[in-house]
Each structure stands twice: as structure tokens, then as C-alpha cells.
Amino acid sequence: MAWLVSSLIQAAKHELEKQNKKATSLKDVAKAIGVSTATISNAFNRPDQLSDKLRSRILEECKHLGYAGPSLAARSLRSGKSDVIGVVLADSLGYSFSDPMAISLLEGVSSVLEKHNKQLLLLSSLSDNSSQVGAESLPDGFIFYGTPSQNALARILNLSKPCVSIDFSHEAMPSVNIDNRKASKEIAEYAITDSDDSVAIIGMRLVEDENVRALQEGDNLGNSQEIAHQRLLGYLDGAAAKGVSIPFTSRIHLPRNTIDYAQQAAIALLERKDRPNVILCMSDVIAMTVCRVANQMGIFVPEELKVTGFDDIAEATRNSPPLTTCSQQGVEKGIIATTMLIENDTVSKVVETKLRKRDSA
């Protein structure tokens, strides 16, 4: 998307120069229909300012005249506003579109933007090519989802435009978060029922390593405020409250939240002679993969193995068995963050989570 929108910036001046020569310019269309240019603009951009009858007539006549509406690029150049909101994804666009939570969040963002007649521009914080850097100047404001790269964060903050973050905190902007440590502690305390339980944790991005592996005592966990680290601490808190210690060998790191990585971890844990009877997973994608691997190995869930997830994605209820998980309301977080940005609300929000007790634990 970035490469499509960035071309608008270079085209803006050329668009303005051509506009007076075109038979279907805003001024000519307004004159032909017999209304003001502002009325034409409202018909396309602010429909609530006109009656349904008048707007329908204007749009129909514009269609016959071959006029598709005011140019976004030219309007942005004139007014300094683009009516575009940028969402900066921590990961690549391809990976983000495979992430159910990212999709849920974007659903919430889009629903608010549609109500306010604004457009969505998706950007990856991992990209720093000239096309994206050019496109970053277009949005009126930004929503960061997940911890961005330092380069992207610095570039966008330097634009001095309103920003809101989701699932990470920064002093320069308000945030929308959940209490990850509290939520993971709650689900651990629910799943662990005996001090003799053997418990494992499967998390993602616990360390800087592109391999699936167990944590080691000397590992540097970096920023303790990262989501994965907060969830890890919550699981350890919950286990400790039940009198259970989880060794480093049972704290498994995945480079990313994918089925392939989750399958590697699940097989490694379930092939152990001292295999765990409780596995706490930092996402539903991981948890559903563990359930599938356990089923293939003839291990019954939850009779022989309890499995919990995190997120409560749509597929969680269709899992076999239905997944016990933590609902963190991705759509709602997207709605809240976008509303904050549009209304210039600078007060950070903490969204409540809910333990979904189903059949996997």
C-alpha cells in the first residue's frame, strides 16, 4: 500500500496544474450542476452535511460528467490534511496479514476510519526504502501496533504528528494496552491445579534468536516491558502461587508466532520422557498447534495434557477441544486507539481481559 500512496505526493503539484485544463475539474462540475465547490466536496467527503436527496443527485451527475471526486493528493497539498491515518506494524506486511490478532485490530481501526471518512495506510516498521519514507509524510497521524524498529519510530516522531501506540508504551504518545502480567498469571493459576504439575511455557520473541530453543539462565531478556516478557513473568507468578517452579529448559522461545515454529516446540516438549502435563502458550496459534500435535501423538487433551492460549481468536472456539484462553479484545483495542487519535485524547488506556474457560484446560 505504501508504494501506491507515496506516488500521490509527487503527483500533487502536477494534478493542480492540470486541474484547470480538465473538463471535469471541481469548479467546472460545480458550475454545471449549479452548486458550490464546497457542496461538491461535501458530497464526497462529508455526506452528513447534505440531505440524502441532494447528495444522491450530485453523485449521479458527477458520474455522468466523468468526475470521480476531489483528488486526495491535491486536497492534501492545499489544506495540509490528507484524511489518511497510518498504521505502523511492527512486522512485515506479509507476516502481519497472517496474524489473527493484527487482523482483528485492523478491523477495529477500519470501522472507526469509515465512520469519519478517513483512509488507512499500512506501513511496516521494518521497511526503510524511499517509497515508504516518502509515504510516511502523507498521514495526518499514526497508530503504532507492537514495538516498532528504532529507525521507523525516530523517523515518524520527527514528523511531529499525533501518534497512539497499541501493545507497547512510549513517553512521546498515549497507549492502549492490557495488563499482560496479570492476565497470564490468572490463566496459569487456573490451569495449574497441583504442586506436582509439570509445567512448560511456549512464548515468542523472548530473546534475540532465530532458532526455537529453551531459555538459558544467562539470557538477556532486554526490555522487561515487552509483551512476551510480561506474559512470561505472569506465568511464573501464577506457577509460584501454586507451588510450582518452571525450569529454564521448559521455557521455550519461538522467533515468531507461526505454526511451523510452534510445531517444533510442541514435538520437542511432548517427546520428552518427563513431558509436561500443562503447557502455557503465549498465543492461540501456538496453543492450537500444541493440541494438534498432542492428538497426533495420542496424548489426550485435557486428560493427559492441559493447554492454554492467549488472544481468543475466532478459531479458538472451533479448536479440538475448544481452547481455554485469555480474551484481549483486538477489535476493541483498534477502536479505542483510533478514536483516541481522531479525538486527540492523550490519556492512555488499559483494556480489560477475560479468562475464557473452555475444554483444553
Domains of the chain: 20-67 (1.10.260.40), 84-177 (3.40.50.2300), 180-327 (3.40.50.2300)
The reported pLDDT for the residue numbered 73 is 61
The reported pLDDT for the residue numbered 135 is 86
Q: How confident is the model at residue 82 (pLDDT cuts 50, 70, 90)?
A: confident
Q: Is the predicted pLDDT of residue 318 greater than 50, yes or no?
A: yes
Write out the three cell numbers for 264: 517444533
Neighbouring-strand partners of residue 87 = 122, 143
The pLDDT of 80-92, averaged and rounded, is: 91
Over residues 5-25, the pLDDT tens digits come to 444 444 444 444 444 444 468
pTM, entire model: 0.79
Over residues 252-296, the pLDDT tens digits come to 999 999 999 999 999 999 999 999 999 999 999 999 999 999 999
C-alpha pair distances (Å), 269 with each of 238, 262, 272, 275:
21, 11, 6, 6
Q: How confident is the model at residue 246 (pLDDT cuts 50, 70, 90)?
A: very high
Q: How confident is the model at residue 128 (pLDDT cuts 50, 70, 90)?
A: confident
The pLDDT of 289-306, averaged and rounded, is: 98
Neighbouring-strand partners of residue 164 = 143
The pLDDT of 238-261, averaged and rounded, is: 97
- Placement of cell 492467549 in the chain: 310
Of 195, 204, 216, which is closest to residue 311 (Cα–Cα)?
204
